[in-house]
Amino acid sequence: MLKNKPSAILFDLDGTLADSALDLAATLNHLLRNSAKKPIDVALVRNMVGEGAKALLIKGFSHNGETPSEELLDDLFEQYLEYYTDHICVETVLFPGVLEMLDTLKSMDIPLAICTNKLASLTKALLSDLKIDHYFSAVACGDSFEFKKPDPRHLYATCEIMGADPENAIMVGDSINDIAAGKNAHMKTIGVTFGYTETPMSELNADITLDHFDELIPALQLLIVGLKLPEKLDR
């Protein structure tokens, strides 16, 4: 049961804080073209994101009627890392309201973390390029542990890094991996409707659903009785 302030708020990255679909699609399509495959529309790629780079590659090639062998997948993965690292923030932007929301949460002294299935090297590069890395006291990625979302241990381990009580933490994300991980960890969950998911957020049974990040602070008030807000929001 949440107390008057969460011990931590854990955020997914791609599709939650960062609209990275164009750069992810460009990377996937670069590899598909190099393999004489048809590129995939970005609208479809948006629903393939969320389980890591290798999963995205498998989905992209399977969409073209080929399941890559382990050897080919390893080679594609290296090409993916090289190209995406060089093009990680060409078209990627923060979703509307992210900066204002992060500033407000920091002013409330709520510890924040990134909990993503994206590789650590890519996550840290993107956070730096977006100039939001300083907001987070922990960054837990798909290769940080031997497990990742929807395994609840990913969230528990993130909280452990922060010294936060997982029973009093909140998970914010855009896909089934995020909401399932939060529920598996017995955390409150907040889902955003503007991210990357095959299953609509309305069907994932998050505790609160947001259409814009200006709704997050009011959502926290619904989840947490007696939460004290900054003066500028009390009016």
Active site residues: 12
| Cα 19 to Cα 89: distance, rounded to the nearest angstrom | 10
Pairing of strands 18-19, 93-94: antiparallel
- Rounded CA separation 186/180 (Å): 10
Give φ, ψ of 114 to 5 degrees. -100, 130
Round to whole Å and give the CA distance between 65 and 188: 39
Which H or E element spans position 10? strand 8-11
CA atoms 156, 159, 161, 165: torsion sign: negative
CA distance 145 to 129: 24
Element spanning 19, H or E: strand 18-19
